[in-house]
Chain A
Amino acid sequence: GQQLNQSPQSMFIQEGEDVSMNCTSSSIFNTWLWYKQDPGEGPVLLIALYKAGELTSNGRLTAQFGITRKDSFLNISASIPSDVGIYFCAGQLYQGAQKLVFGQGTRLTINP
């Protein structure tokens, strides 16, 4: 099936640092979503992107829908301990697609 390449797979940073992660694909996507999952919990939707080039913020989080529609980026500014978790990207391949394609996740660890 379709795959999203999410990178990096893991990140180890100091508290206060900025974080950047991305998802890429060889296919064009209609919608991009970013989720965060805490250990033992379900993913929580952070940001949804619907238009190529769109840049959307949610507090310290900023995500962009790549202009080629084949990639998306998530940035976290001034990281804090509660940012620890796994971040997933997900995409909808085309308008009306019934399913989402998920990336493998980026595990974020923060050293205080």
Chain B
Amino acid sequence: DGGITQSPKYLFRKEGQNVTLSCEQNLNHDAMYWYRQDPGQGLRLIYYSQIVNDFQKGDIAEGYSVSREKKESFPLTVTSAQKNPTAFYLCASTQGGLYEQYFGPGTRLTVT
């Protein structure tokens, strides 16, 4: 089955720790995206990558980092510099030149 997987579904961390969220896709899509969603809010773009070894900051990149070493993988690290890391994180991908983004199931991160 083709799709986007995010793991784990729920993640708990102590304040001050870095944490990495996984996103993998087997759709052969060129572009991948990370969004943050807070309760009752829309989606805010953190980082995106159009091709391997290249990525751009979105609207709220501070306190986050990414890498794109493989086409199918786009991990997101939430660093200790992120002031309010508790949120629902969504990964998406799209075929190059098309704008229909497809989303993974999300990871809910709780930092205490």
* Interface-lining segment among B14-22, B62-70, B79-87, B99-107: B99-107
The listed residue (A45, A48, A102) touching B42 by CB distance below 8 A is A102
The listed residue (A1, A31, A40, A102) touching B43 by CB distance below 8 A is A102
Tally of contact residues, A, Cβ under 8 A:
22
Interface Cβ pair total, 8 Å cutoff: 50
Cα A98 to Cα B43 with chains together (Å): 16
Tell me which residues across on chain A come within 8 A of B112, comparing CB atoms.
none
Tell me which residues across on chain B come within 8 A of A99, comparing CB atoms.
33, 45, 48, 58
Tell me the interface secondary structure of chain B in the complex.
strand
Tell me which residues across on chain B come within 8 A of A48, comparing CB atoms.
99-100
Instruction: Report B56-101 residues with CB < 8 Å from chain A CB.
Output: 56, 58-59, 88, 90, 92, 99-101
Does A73 lie at the interface of the complex (its beta carbon under 8 Å from any beta carbon of B)? no
**A42 to B90, Cβ gap below 8 A?**
yes
**A41 to B50, Cβ gap below 8 A?**
no
Tell me which residues across on chain B come within 8 A of A31, comparing CB atoms.
99
Does B41 lie at the interface of the complex (its beta carbon under 8 Å from any beta carbon of A)? yes
Cα A3 to Cα B43 with chains together (Å): 11
